[in-house]
Amino acid sequence: MSALFTRNRLIGLALAALVALVDQAVKFWIVGPLDLRFVGRIDLLPFFDLTYTENRGVSLGMFQASSMETRWALVAVTAAIAVVVLVWMMRERKLGDIAGLALILGGALGNIKDRWELGYVIDFADFHIGTFRPFLIFNIADAAITIGVVIILARSLLVRDKGDTQAGDAPRGEAQDA
């Protein structure tokens, strides 16, 4: 196997593809069999509903694509970010870092596909506690991106590499690709 496509990187690529596919499958189910676009909302649990929303902006609904130019600009910017995340992922060696980046990449790909084909991203997951909504309505891709960012931040703050040991400290017996 070439040095570029190590086991961990292949796992990362597969995870990114899986996230994008699951995101698109759920969105198909939301607009197809559930017909949520016309139903509008389905109450599932006391704290979770399915609520159809078309997000024409990016994170938190900012930077709304109000014209074709801004739509394609958002596609281009998010695609460029996805390429940066892919390159970063292919440079990492540790599975924990690769997994976080793969979640971000897979989520980005799912949302880019929506924006490319529809001009907006389909959101539907509505978590709430009574009338309090700690999150905006989101989708599988958004959740994957958020979890991926949390993993990357946690690992960067909490995980120490072997090279970080001080002189005289015995390095721990962790594998290079752990």
pTM, to two decimals = 0.83
Cβ atoms of residues 107 and 122 within 8 Å: no
pLDDT tens string, the chain, 178 residues long: the values are 567 778 999 999 999 999 999 999 999 999 999 999 999 899 999 999 999 999 987 765 556 677 788 889 889 999 999 999 999 999 999 999 999 999 999 999 999 999 999 999 999 999 998 888 888 899 999 999 999 999 999 999 987 765 544 444 444 444 455 4
Q: Which of 160, 12, 171, 21 is nearest to 86 (CA)?
A: 12
Q: Give the residues across from 163 on adjacent strands.
A: none
| Residues marked as catalytic | 123, 142
Structure tokens at 79: 């695609």
For residue 25, the SS3 value is: helix
